[in-house]
Structure 1
Amino acid sequence: MAKVYPQEPTSPPYSSFGPETYTLWMKSLVCHSNGCTVYDSNGAVVYRVDNYDTKGRRHVNLFDLRGRVLCTIHKKLLAFGRWDVYRGNDNSNRKIQTQKPWFQVKRCYKMITGKVTCQITKECQKYCIEKTGSKTAFRIVGIDGDIVADAKQKHSSSGVVLGNDVLTLDVLGCIDHSLIMAFVTVFGLICGRL
């Protein structure tokens, strides 16, 4: 089940940089496992995360449609609330310890609202993910304050609000979509949804 609609995607999802609207279904395509599935605006599966045993694993992989590992997310055991994300498919412990992370994520809380947020550092670039409005809504903001992506609970074309596990993600900026999906995956782990 790779498609919801019959149209073929025009380009591989990992090379997308323009604006796009995705549907995030916070469920795995594999029965009785945790994860999420990401559909593009044509209804094709473009990204997926599958945790076969339990939520909140130390190592989680983000896959594209073809099953290629785009990145490995590794939770640091001795650093409270910190995740390192490595590009590619080599997730052995020895390689992770010597390889430089693609980006790092640090969990933090807003003291006034008590909401979970996280700070992302990718080389000299910085991003922040913050919850907005409803229980599941969030947005990704660049260091300059520009919104890069915005997620909110999905509504059907007839206006029916879908469940808390179905979100619409609007990627607004010219940014690598696989990077945005890696951000979303880490945030799902932080919030205990994956």
Structure 2
Amino acid sequence: MTKVYPHDPTSSPCMSYGPESYTLWMKSLVLHSNGCTVYDSNGVIVYRVDNYDTKGRRHVNLLDLRGTVLCTIHKKLLAFGRWNVYRGSDNSDFKIQEKPWFQVKRCYKMITRKVTCQITVACKKYCIKKIAGKTTFQIVNIDGDIVAYAKQKHSSSGVVLGNDVLTLDVEGGIDHSLIMAFVTVFGLICGKM
């Protein structure tokens, strides 16, 4: 029987660069652990984060469906609110690696009480801004263009789902695994994972 959405085992959904709408469920598929599960627009799991210890731990991996580590997020010990993200490594000895894929700095605005993040990827800069509501945020580049936008998910009949279910719309022209790494760090900063 022919599948409606045929699966090519050689293709990787993680290297997608076109526009896509994802569903983020801020829960782990593993019982009694923290994390996140990400579904594409066809309902297929494409990314996951399983955090077996406690929320906000210092060392977290972003995985694809097959369990391949796409990146490792490591919170710096002596630098308050700073994370280094290493591409495709689950090695806990970060001294072996030369340079992180990107770095994240947490910013907290006392007046508005909003958490933001500044992200440096090589010579590119991005910012994650939390906007109206508990779950809505956007990722913008240095030019102010929105590259991804997350908000609380609504069902097709208009029912608002829980605070832990989000819709993430990602624009084209950017590596989606990079955006998911941004979202994972932001989830750790906000205590969601």
Q: If the length of structure 2 is used for normalisation, what is the TM-score? A: 0.93
- DSSP 3-state at the match of 1:170: strand
Matched letter for residue 152 of structure 1: K
Q: What SS is found at the alignment partner of 1:185? A: helix
Which whole-Å deviations, capped at 9, do the CAs of 1:95-125 have from their partners, x for residues lacking one? 4464200000000022431200000001100
Q: What SS does structure 2 have at the residue aligned with 1:47? A: strand
Gaps of 5+ in 1: 1-5
- Structure 2 partner of 1:157: 156
8 Å CA contact retained: 1:23, 1:169 = yes
Q: What percent of counterpart residues are identical?
A: 79
User: How far is 1:9 from its partner?
Assistant: 5.2
1:134 to partner: Cα distance = 1.2
How far the C-alpha of 1:92 sits from its partner, in A, is 2.2
1:74 aligns with 2:74: yes
Q: Distance in 2 between matches of 1:9 and 1:25?
A: 23
Distance of aligned partners of 1:90 and 1:35 in 2 relative to their CA distance in 1, 3 Å threshold: closer
1:58 deviates by 0.7
Alpha-carbon distance between aligned partners in 2 of 1:15 and 1:164, rounded to the nearest angstrom: 28
Report matched runs for 1:132-151 at 5 Å: 132-151=131-150
For 1:135 and 1:8, the matched residues in 2 are separated by 37
Provide the rounded CA distance (Å) in 2 between the counterparts of 1:25 and 1:7: 22
Larger deviation: 53-62 or 95-104?
95-104
By how many angstroms is 1:15 displaced?
1.2
State the number of aligned residues. 189
- Superposition RMSD in Å: 1.6
The amino acid of 1:24's aligned partner reads L
